[in-house]
């Protein structure tokens, strides 16, 4: 079973921000691979989901990007903007709290 688009849509930005916070700098495909690895294959991000989300975060000023040549190909690396760090920490914390409360609701039903 895989995560549905509905679940991902509300959490994708926070997932990306948490990975960038943990890894300092990453490119899109790398974010997809690490998400799949950390979720043991449950969350599989596509290019159609990741790149619009990255562009939206960049437009909001939460992350910035730089291009580099790697093995003859241009890669766009993303990183968190220092001025946004406290806002990002707050967003990650809010998702954690929300997840805990959802678990409290679901546990009796299982």
Q: Note the pLDDT tens digit of each residue in 64-82.
A: 999 999 899 999 999 999 8
**Band of the pLDDT at 59, cuts 50, 70, 90?**
very high
- Overall average pLDDT of the 102-108 stretch: 87
Q: E strand or H helix at 96, and its extent?
A: helix 85-106
Residue 32's nearest CA partner among 18, 21, 43, 17 is 43
Residue 56 has pLDDT above 70, yes or no: yes
CB 73 within 8 A of CB 85: no
Residue 25 has pLDDT above 90, yes or no: yes
> How far apart are the C-alpha atoms of 2 and 102, rounded to whole Å?
19
Domains and CATH numbers, the chain: 5-109 (1.10.10.10)
User: What pTM was estimated for this model as a whole?
Assistant: 0.86
**Band of the pLDDT at 3, cuts 50, 70, 90?**
low
What are 76-104's pLDDT values in tens digits? 999 999 899 999 999 999 999 999 998 99
Residue 63's nearest CA partner among 10, 15, 6, 8 is 15
The overall average pLDDT reported for the chain is 91
3 state DSSP class of 39: coil
């Amino acid at each position: 079973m895989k995560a549905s688009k509905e679940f991902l849509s509300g959490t994708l930005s926070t997932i990306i921000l948490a990975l960038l916070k943990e890894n300092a700098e990453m490119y899109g495909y790398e974010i997809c691979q690490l998400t799949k690895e950390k979720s043991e294959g449950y969350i599989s991000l596509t290019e159609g989901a990741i790149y619009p989300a990255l562009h939206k975060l960049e437009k909001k000023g939460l992350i910035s990007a730089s291009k580099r040549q790697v093995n003859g190909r241009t890669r766009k690396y993303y990183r968190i903007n220092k001025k946004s760090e406290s806002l990002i920490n707050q967003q990650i914390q809010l998702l954690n709290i929300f997840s805990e409360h959802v678990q409290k609701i679901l546990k009796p039903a299982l």
